[in-house]
Chain A
Amino acid sequence: MRTAQKLIVENDDVSKTMDLAGDISRDDVIGEISRHLAPFQNGDTPIVGETVISKDLTIDSLAVMDMIMELEDRFDITIPLNTVAEIHTVNELADTILKLHSER
């Protein structure tokens, strides 16, 4: 498991990490979320803002929590898991990330 985790870390291209001091756009955030959710796409149904993460996709709760960890590191924020329970759609997740990022 440690090996697998290490791979993910090594694949995290540093140059791709956001300009932490600057602003991020909603498109950046939606794009990043969609990239993480792509492996869980249900058939040809596209992933959009209204997609309900736990219902419209083939993702389980553990994978959702793993994605949250990746997004935290990508945007240098903390999304407490208590908050995650209240997030249903891609839009809501993007809103949460943008809000937490602006509060940093």
Chain B
Amino acid sequence: MGLLDRHADLLGQYRDVRIQGADPFQIRMDRILSPTEAIINGRRTLMVGTNNYFGLTFDPTCMDAAIDAIRSEGTGTTGSRIANGSYSQHVLLEKELAEFYDKKHCMVFTTGYQANLGIISTLVSQGDYLLIDADSHASIYDACKLTQAEMIRFKHNDPSSLDARLRRLGDKPGNRLVVLEGVYSMLGDSAPLKEFVAVCKKYGAYIVVDEAHSLGVLGANGRGLCEEVGVLDDVHFVVGTFSKTLGAVGGYCVSNDPDFEILRLVTRSYMFTASLPPSIVASVRQALRIVRARPELRQQLWDNVATLYDGLAERGFFLGPEHGPVVGVHLPDRLLAIRFWRALLEAGIYVNVAVPPATPNGVSLLRCSICAAHTKQQLERMTEVMTGIGLQMGVISGTPKLRVVGGAH
């Protein structure tokens, strides 16, 4: 048997996708023009699938900080923090992130994936219980595979489902660690975090919240869902990424745990990988300053979310349950989702296509992520284009529907 034979089914499905035209999993941007536009297949294309929530990738001050850092510290660190030492910028970024969250400790990782992988798998061990939301990100699932702790799934965003599982553990020894996400990456919905925190307190469970898609996006100071609902002091660990709102790459974890620093000596995804290059650390530090100094970017983002979400909802599209920086548009099946995606691309609009097994409950989605730098006109045009394609493909009917839209923003 060949080593890759086990993927035969997936390969078959993938072939079906590829013979029909542009391949959503091999898309190439010929030139990036701005946070919201690129040249794809020779065409100027509106980018609505970047996770670039504040549009900071082309911020001149972030770019200058990165360029200055390359000139003064070089292109890379060529080693890990533990084996080869930290640059002072790594330490300063950790100090600034800890201050931003008003927490005592911070550790910076080379990617957000590695932050989740390392932190979650290291906090629990044999005899402990790891309880995760059914719709958790792949990095959380993969972390479960790296630990001897028992893994238990609860229903997505359902505190009563978590309660039942913690109750059933009864007085069995071992720590309970619950992993939640501020905003879920496929449908843009937020966790009912206050209710989850109450359940965790009832059973003495520890909490990790991944704010990858909510850093900058939620909370009066942009600290995420924990700040938005006032539970930052009740959450033991917050993890996140630099690759979305902060426009670079990297991950972090902040905490008030007095023994936090020992994690640097036991977290393998921190110890055995090269640390972030100076240019990245410098641009992230500047982007974090912008998040603190320019709350109006958050408002612009949410105004844009409302434009696209409400526009599509009024036309009858079936969307994720509430306003979020990600707007997930449900389509009936995988091939229709890919056909719709191609038609959008040909009309000069790029979104993500998300199909099983990467999606919850086997749904097929067009995944749109909104940027503060989008203009209202761009998003209104996108709504018109999607409506045209949706009518043509029979995804929506001609009569506009008014539906109740959730979400406080």
Are A5 and B158 touching (Cβ within 8 A)?
yes
Known A-B contacts A5-B155, A82-B151; A73 and B134 likewise in contact (beta carbons under 8 Å):
no
B159-180 interface mask toward A, CB cutoff 8 Å, 1 = contact, 0 = none? 0010011001100000000000
List 21 A-B residue pairs with CB atoms under 8 Å apart, sorted by A's residue number: A1-B135, A1-B156, A1-B157, A1-B187, A2-B189, A4-B361, A9-B158, A60-B357, A62-B360, A62-B362, A63-B362, A68-B153, A69-B134, A69-B154, A76-B168, A78-B165, A78-B169, A81-B144, A81-B150, A81-B151, A81-B152
Residues from chain B with a CB closer than 8 A to the CB of A76 are 164, 168
Residue B321 at the chain A interface, CB threshold 8 Å: yes
The total of Cβ contacts below 8 Å across the A-B interface reads: 67
Residue A65 at the chain B interface, CB threshold 8 Å: yes
Are B155 and A69 touching (Cβ within 8 A)?
yes
Residue B320 at the chain A interface, CB threshold 8 Å: yes
Are B361 and A66 touching (Cβ within 8 A)?
yes
Interface size on A, residues (CB 8 A): 23
Contact of B356 among A60, A69, A104 (CB under 8 A): A60
* Residues of B near any A CB (own CB < 8 A): 129, 134-135, 144, 150-158, 161, 164-165, 168-169, 184, 186-187, 189, 320-321, 356-357, 360-363
* A9-37 at interface with B (beta carbon < 8 Å): 9
Residues from chain B with a CB closer than 8 A to the CB of A4 are 361
Residue A98 at the chain B interface, CB threshold 8 Å: no
Are A2 and B321 touching (Cβ within 8 A)?
yes
Complex: A46 Cα to B184 Cα, angstroms: 38
Known A-B contacts A2-B321, A5-B158; A61 and B144 likewise in contact (beta carbons under 8 Å):
no
Nearest Cβ distance between residue B111 and chain A, in whole angstroms? 24
Give 8 new A-B contacts, CB below 8 A, not counting A1-B186, A1-B360: A60-B357, A62-B357, A62-B360, A69-B153, A78-B168, A80-B150, A82-B150, A104-B168
Residue A95 at the chain B interface, CB threshold 8 Å: no
Complex: A77 Cα to B184 Cα, angstroms: 27
Counting chain A CB atoms within 10 Å of each CB, which of B155, B156, B165, B363 scores highest?
Answer: B155
Nearest 4 A/B pairs, CB to CB: A80-B150, A81-B151, A2-B321, A78-B168
Residue on A with the closest CB to B187? A1
Residues from chain A with a CB closer than 8 A to the CB of B154 are 69
Nearest Cβ distance between residue B403 and chain A, in whole angstroms? 12
Residues from chain B with a CB closer than 8 A to the CB of A62 are 356-357, 360, 362
Residue A45 at the chain B interface, CB threshold 8 Å: no
Residues from chain B with a CB closer than 8 A to the CB of A5 are 155-158
Complex: A77 Cα to B152 Cα, angstroms: 11
Residue on B with the closest CB to A61? B357
Known A-B contacts A61-B357, A62-B356; A1 and B189 likewise in contact (beta carbons under 8 Å):
yes
Are A2 and B156 touching (Cβ within 8 A)?
yes
Are B320 and A1 touching (Cβ within 8 A)?
yes
Residues from chain B with a CB closer than 8 A to the CB of A66 are 134, 361
